[in-house]
Homo-oligomer: A and B are copies of this chain.
C-alpha cells in the first residue's frame, strides 16, 4: 500500500468511527485516538516503547469510576428520600457487569472492537469492559460535565427503566455469574435430577464453582431452582 493509500484508509476508518460515535452517542469525538484505544481489547495490545502495553484496560479502570459517580449522583438527586442502601442497590443494578454487557450489545459497540481473534470477541464481559473504557475516553476527551450529560441523556434515561428496576428482584444467578467472571473462576449451573411429585415435575439444580458444588436447591422450574441455588451459594460466598 502506498503512503497515500495508507493515509486514505487510515483517515477513512477514523471518519467512520467519528460518525458512528455521533450516531450512537450524539457527539463528535475530539481526540479520536482515545476512543480507538477504548475499543482495543487486551488480546490485541500494541507495545509502547516504554515497555507498557496499549489496550483498553487503563481506560476501563478510569471509566468504571466515572460511570460510578455519574450514576451515584443521578440516583442521589432522583431519589431524595431513599436511604443509601436503596441507592447502592439501584446503582449496582445499572452498572453491574451483566447490565453493561447487555447495554453494550444493544449499542453495537463490539463492531468497533479490535480483538486478537474471533473467540475473544465471544467472551461475555468484553462488551461491558468496552463501554466502561469508552466512558473513560470520553471523560479524558471532553471532561466531567460533558460526560455526565451524555451518560444521563443518552444512556440512563434512554436505556434504563428506573421504575421497573426498582421493582426488579436482584437476580442471584447473575450475581454468581458476575462474581465468577470477576474472580476468573469457572462456574456452572447443572440440573442434577428431576422427579415428578403429584404430577408436577420438580428440578434439582446445583451451582458449581471450579467443579466444587457450592449449593443446591429444588423448584418446579429450572429457572426457579437455579435462582434458589444461586441465592444459597451467594450466602455461602458472603458468609465467611
> For the complex, what is the distance from the CA of A148 to the CA of B144, rounded to whole Å?
11
* A48 within 8 Å of B (CB atoms): yes
> Are B73 and A62 touching (Cβ within 8 A)?
yes
* A69 within 8 Å of B (CB atoms): yes
Our pick among B65, B214, B240 for the contact of A72 (Cβ within 8 Å) is B65
> For the complex, what is the distance from the CA of A210 to the CA of B240, rounded to whole Å?
9
Q: List which A60-75 residues lie within 8 A (CB) of chain B.
A: 60-62, 64-66, 68-69, 72-73
Query: Which stretch of A76-84, A165-173, A198-206, A222-230 is in the interface?
Result: A76-84
> Are B65 and A69 touching (Cβ within 8 A)?
yes
* A53 within 8 Å of B (CB atoms): yes
Q: List which A199-240 residues lie within 8 A (CB) of chain B.
A: 209-210, 212, 214, 236-238, 240
A62 contact set on B, CB distance < 8 A? 72-73, 76
CB distance from A213 to the nearest CB of B (A): 11
Across the interface, name the chain B residue whose C-beta is closest to A144: B144
Oligomer: number of copies: 2
* A183 within 8 Å of B (CB atoms): yes
Across the interface, name the chain B residue whose C-beta is closest to A67: B69
A236 contact set on B, CB distance < 8 A? 240
> For the complex, what is the distance from the CA of A87 to the CA of B61, rounded to whole Å?
8
Q: List which A94-126 residues lie within 8 A (CB) of chain B.
A: none
CB distance from A40 to the nearest CB of B (A): 13
Which residues on A are within 8 Å of B, measured CB to CB?
Answer: 48, 50-53, 57-58, 60-62, 64-66, 68-69, 72-73, 76, 81-84, 87-88, 139, 144-145, 148, 183, 209-210, 212, 214, 236-238, 240
Q: A57-B83, A58-B76, A65-B69 are in contact. List 7 more A-B contacts (CB 8 A).
A: A53-B83, A61-B72, A61-B84, A64-B72, A66-B69, A69-B69, A144-B145
